[in-house]
Structures are given as C-alpha cells and as structure tokens.
Structure 1
Amino acid sequence: MASHRKSRPTGPRVAGIRTPALATAALTSVALLSQTANATPSDDDRPSLEEVEKKVDDLYRQAGSATEKYNAAKEKTAKQRKKADALLDDVARRTQRLNDAREELGSFASAQYRTGTAVPETATFLLADSPQDYFDQNQLMGRLTGRQKTAVDDYVTQQSETMEKRREATESLETLTDSQNDLKTAKSTVQKKLATARELLSKLTAEEKARLAAIEKKKQEEAARKAAELAEQQARQQAEERERREEAARQESGGGTSSGSSESGGDGSSGSSAPDPSYGTKADKALAFARAQIGKPYVWGATGPGSYDCSGLTQAAWKAAGVSLPRVTYDQVNAGTTVPVSQAQPGDLVFFYDDLSHVGLYIGNGMMIHAPKPGAYVREESIYYDGESSIHSVVRPA
C-alpha cells in the first residue's frame, strides 16, 4: 500500500523550521540589512577630527556672538521696562489728579444746579470726552467765577497731557514686548549652538578626544611662542623709549639739543608711549579684580560674582577700578582709545574676531585674563590663543 506521507521539503532549517529556498534568500537579505543598520558607520561617513574641531570652534564662536546679542537685548529690555514702569506710574499720578479735578468741577456744577444759576444739562460736561465743548458756551462760561474757570482750564490741560502720557506708555510697552522677543530669540540661538557643539563632542571616541587634546596643546604652545615674541618686542620698545628720554634729559641739562633725540625716534616712527601713571593705577585695580576671578566658570550672560561671560568680566574688572564700561563687546570697543597691539599696556581690552564676539583683559607679555567659552573657566592665556589673525583691536578704556 502506497504511503500517504508528504515528502519532506528540501532546504535549510531556520529556528527549527525548514524554509523554502525563496524564504531563505529573503531572510538572508533581512539579516544582512540588519547587520548593516547596526554596524558602526564607516570612516568615510564620519567627519574627520579636524572637521569636528573646526565645527565646534565655529559653534562656540557663533554662540559667543549670540551671547553678546543676548546681553544687548537684555540690557535694552531692562531699560525699556524701567521706562515703561516710570510712564505707567506717571499716568497713574496724572489720572488721580484728573479725578480730583473732575470731582472739584462736579462740585461747581452741582452748586450751580442747586442755586439755579445753571441749566441742568450743563452738569453732563463731566461725562463728555471734551468738557471744554460745554464750557465754551457763553451762557455757561459767563456764570463761572475766575477760580472756577481756572479749574476748568487746568482740567482740560491735565486731560490732554494724561492722554498723551497714556499713548507714550502704550508705545513703550509695545517696544518692551519687541525687546523681550529679541531676548528670547538670542537666548534660543545660544542654546542651540551650544547643544550642537556638545552633541558633536559627545560622539568622539576616547582616542579622538586624546588627539583633540594634543591638537589643542600644540595650539597653546604656538600661542605661547607668539606671546613671548610680543613680550620681547615690547621690552625692546620700552628700553628704546627710556634711552630716548634719558638722552633728551642729558641734552636739556647740557643746554643743547640733538636732532636724533626727538620723541618720535630717529627713524620717524613713534615709539611705545610711556605709561600714564593715573591709567596704571586704575589698571592695577582692574587687573587685581580680574585675577581674583580666575577659576570661576564661564556662563553666557553672567556678570558675576560667581560666574562671567567675556564682556561681563571686563566690565566688572574696570568697574572695580571706578570706570564704567558698557555691557557688550561692540559697545566696549568704542569706550576708549585704540592702540596698536605692539603698544598694549596692562589693563587694555583686547577684542577678537570681525564680529567683536570676544574680549579679554591684557596683563602684559602677550597674555590676558579672559572668560573663554562654555565649559571653561576664567584663566590667563595668550592673546594669540586662536591665532594672530583673530585679534581685532586693542582699546585703552581710561
């Protein structure tokens, strides 16, 4: 008798189940796709360490620029809020005076009505938008005493002034709203830039982080070398300046002069000017304050005392010396006299980048104290920390 069993299908087993050849091929494709999806991206797909470094540096710089815009918007918002509050207080005082004047005029109208010296409808002037329209009528104005007419004139004037102040207050509140929106936008921009930078750094392997640290160390060594060169140049200038002054003093004491002993130097170039004693005293106070902040964290928008951003630190330092600086870098750069880098003196402000998004406090020998960037702390560093081309200008604020 023939067997009724079905013949076993050929093909490999998958998870204990035999599968047809077509299904096997499909499962193989899925497995390969799954492996591809889970595999680490190839080196060709990942940005190089140099690209990551450049991107992160750019993001920090953009965040710095956005921070200064945030600082400006915050300062503008504070001023606008103060102005709006003052206007609203003024409107409240004027409204109270207007109500008092309205009550006084109401008493006049009531008295006239009781004595029959005025038609009843004259009292309705108090409910009108322009009471003067009623008082301009000859039959009413003729019945008013001099004191009463003066009260009417004062009331109309106060009403007009109060309406104008209310208009100013409304406009001020609208400007305040615009400033607040600018503040929110700048804050959001800073946060997004910093979040992107942190995300890029978080994806680096331990080996890449070590290589990045080595690259940073090399940059610091080059920056230190440039600072040492500047220190030598400034020392030569100061020595030459002393020699010129000593020579000029000898010539003066000897009753003669020498054409080569002018203040500008024999080659016609201007040497390093002698430090102004009064400036030096103020600069010492600013530097003493800045040094006391070393080690405190950079926090964007911060002005101390526990943390600072770059312009918050320079503003606070010079405030300690009795000099008021504006809040943001692109205002601070206009708060003094611009000098060449070669003639920078301790206390001068060193600005960086075309957008003036960073500033530090020069301490001499090519070095500065500054609040560098998020994740870093107030520290001493070469003014060439980001290359010579990054320096925008040097400003002497007092």
Structure 2
Amino acid sequence: MAEVSATHREIGKLAAHAYINGGGVADLESILSSSGPQEVIDNLSTLENLGTGNKTSLKRFKAAEDVAQRAKVIAEEAKQKQVLVTERVASAKKEADDAQIEQQKEVNKLQAVQDKLQRDLASAKKVRITLEQKRQLAILEETRANEASKVKNQSKIWKTGGPTGATKSRTTEEQRLKAVEFAKRQVLANKPYIWGSEGPNSFDCSGLVYAAYKYAGLGWPIWDRLNSGLFYTYTKQIPLAEMEPGDLIFYSYKGTQSTIHHISIYAGGEMMWEARSTATGLRYSNIYSVSGMMPYAGRV
C-alpha cells in the first residue's frame, strides 16, 4: 500500500508537469478525474509531453494497484474461510453439548426411578419391584459402570460413605456363608455375565448378590432384586477392617451412593466373588482390583 501511495504522488507530479508544459486546464482535469489506473494512462498518453520516464512511472502505478487489489481479494477470501471454520466449530460444539444434555436427561430419569424405590423402602411400603423397574435399575447400573470406566485417577477407597444403611443385619452367619457358597459355585461353573440377569444361567453384579441371598433363605418382603446403589442403603454398613465372608462390597466412581456401579460378595482374605462384565464374566478376584471402593461394606 505504501508503494501505491508513492505512485499516486508521482502521478500527481506528472499531471502538474503536463499542465506547466502547455497541456492546459482541460488536459489536467481529464487526468485528475480519471476513475482508475488504466484511464490515467489512457488520458496521459494523449499528452504530447508525456515522455518515456513518465510512462514507466504510470506502469509502476498500475502494477502497484494490481498488487493491492489482489492482496485485498486474498485477505477477503481468508476472512471468509475463517468465518466458515468458526461456524463449523461452533456447530460441532453445539451438537456435542446437545448430546451430553440428552444423555444426562436419561441418567436423571433412571436416577428418579432409584430415588422413588429408595423412598418406598425407607417408609417400609410393601411395593414389589416390577420387571420394568428391574430393567430400568439394570440400565442405571450399566450406565454408571460405563461412566466409571471413563473416570481417571479414581480413589482405591473413598474417604466418605454417603448415607447410612440399615440399623441391623437381617441374616445369620450361617446364611451369609451359604450365600458365599452359592456365589462360588456360579463362578466355578463359568456362568456368563449378562446385564440385568439374576440367574440361574447368567448374572450381572447385583443379580448375583440377589440370587445368592435368596438361595440363603431371604425372601419377600425383606429381600428383593435391587441395584448396587440401593443395596448400599438396604444393608448395615460395616467398616472394611471388620468385613466377614458374605458381606457386600460396593464401588463408586465418585464416592457417593448415587454413583455406585458395582457390587460383590466378600469371600475372605481380601478376595471376592463377583460378576464384573461381559468380557470377564463371573470371577474370583482381589477386592482392590476395582477402583473406587466405598469405605463401608454392607452386611445383609
């Protein structure tokens, strides 16, 4: 742009020089009123006193104007591309945000199901859980397990345990050992993990717990199929150091009762019987092999 301005000044000098050397006012006006570089050149070319040096200056002026125009076009194209990229980024972010909002809505719906069942149990209502409610609880449990797999640096054992559980145990030591024996047989039989299943041929984590204690003699109305989070408040909380075989172990990806995603049956010696996932099936494993252990076990 500096070159264009300088050439503009030089053209002015050429026009004045043409006038001084006899070009006349009309000739000067025809030059100064030109609409562009080409018209300046055309008008000046009619003046007899336009020499070779002046023509060179005019050519430089036109070349500089052309460069400036191309630069302007390139800048405008770059601006349009930037606007397009910005719009695409904004659109992608909105789609991601909308998807996250919809996912959270589904989780909230499932959480509401659990909360209602929690209230029913707390008020001792004799409301048997329907098959549809069991299905929704299983979906919630699976959703939490998926969320847990995405959370990095989970604590091995959470420091706080959320709400308290039942005030007393519903079982004898004999019943708890019977539940352990049942879980052991299912693991040794290599039965598969199937989400939402409670036996006899397949189980998910809370389904194995439910079936084990049902086998041990617990039945309706004091025992029903719950999900991991509900079992946490339905059992008596026991410090981990005081666990006995048959106690339930809970795992949460945020350290809260509402984000508990896994449950297992303590076997003793820091080992447990569990139905962990479709990939691993039912297994006998160390209690610390899953991150996010709640600070209390549950005694049924």
Q: TM-score, normalised by structure 1?
A: 0.32
Q: Which has the higher helix share?
A: 1
The structure with the larger Rg is 2
Q: TM-score, normalised by structure 2?
A: 0.41
